[in-house]
Amino acid sequence: MRTVDEHLADILGNVPVLPPLDLALMEAEGAVLAEQVAAPVPLPPFDNSAMDGYAVVASDVATASEAEPAVLPVIGDIAAGDSGVSAIRPGLAARIMTGAPMPAGSDAVIPVEWTDGGTASVRISRSAPSGHYIRRAGEDVVGGQIVAGPGTRLRAAQIGMLAAVGRARVLVRPKPRVVVLSTGSELREPGTALAPGQIWDSNSFMLTAAVIEAGGVGYRQTMVEDDPRKVLETLEDQLMRADALITSGGVSMGARDVVKEVLTGVGTVQFSKVAMRPGKPQGFGLLEGTPIFTLPGNPVSAYVSFQVFVRPALLAMQGLPPAALPVVTAVLAADVTSGAGVRQFVRGKLSFSQGTYTVAPAEGQGSHQLAALASANGLIIVPEDVETLPAGSQVEVLSLPS
- Piece of 15-23, 169-177, 200-208, 388-396 that binds ligand LQZAQKY5 (CB under 6 A): 200-208
Contact 336, 383 (CB under 8 A): no
Binding mask 324-363 for ligand MOO (x = CB under 6 A): ----------------------------------------
Return d(Cα 181, Cα 219) in angstroms, integer. 9
Residues 6+ apart with CB under 8 A from 158: 33, 148, 152
Q: Scan residues 250-279 and list those touching ligand MOO (CB under 6 A).
A: 277-279
Among 204, 247, 294, 367, binds ligand MOO (CB under 6 A): 367
Nearer to ligand LQZAQKY5, 168 or 253 (CB): 253
Q: How many CB atoms lie within 10 A of CB 161?
A: 19
Strand locations in 64-104 (E): 70-78, 93-96
- Closest distance of CB 288 from ligand LQZAQKY5, Å: 23
Least Cα distance to 76 among 102, 96, 99, 53 occurs for: 96
Cα→Cα distances 101→59, 60, 106, 136, 379, Å? 20, 20, 11, 10, 55
Nearer to ligand LQZAQKY5, 203 or 318 (CB): 203
Contact 335, 390 (CB under 8 A): yes
Contact 100, 47 (CB under 8 A): no
Residue 47 touches which of ligand LQZAQKY5, ligand MOO, none (Cβ within 5-8 Å per kind): none
Contact 26, 159 (CB under 8 A): yes
Does position 301 interact with ligand MOO (CB under 6 A)? The reply is: yes
Return d(Cα 312, Cα 371) in angstroms, integer. 25
Among 47, 52, 201, 243, binds ligand LQZAQKY5 (CB under 6 A): 201
- Closest distance of CB 279 from ligand MOO, Å: 5
- Closest distance of CB 230 from ligand MOO, Å: 25
- Piece of 18-26, 63-71, 211-219, 295-303 that binds ligand LQZAQKY5 (CB under 6 A): 295-303
- Closest distance of CB 226 from ligand MOO, Å: 18
Please identify the residue of the shown chain whose CB is closest to the bound ligand LQZAQKY5: 297
Q: Scan residues 268-287 and list those touching ligand LQZAQKY5 (CB under 6 A).
A: 278, 280-281
Residues 6+ apart with CB under 8 A from 233: none
> Residue 72: left if φ>0, alpha if ψ -120 to 50, beta else—which one?
beta
Please report, as ranges, the residues that interact with ligand LQZAQKY5 according to CB under 6 A. 182, 184, 186-187, 199, 201-204, 248-254, 257, 278, 280-281, 296-299, 301, 367-368
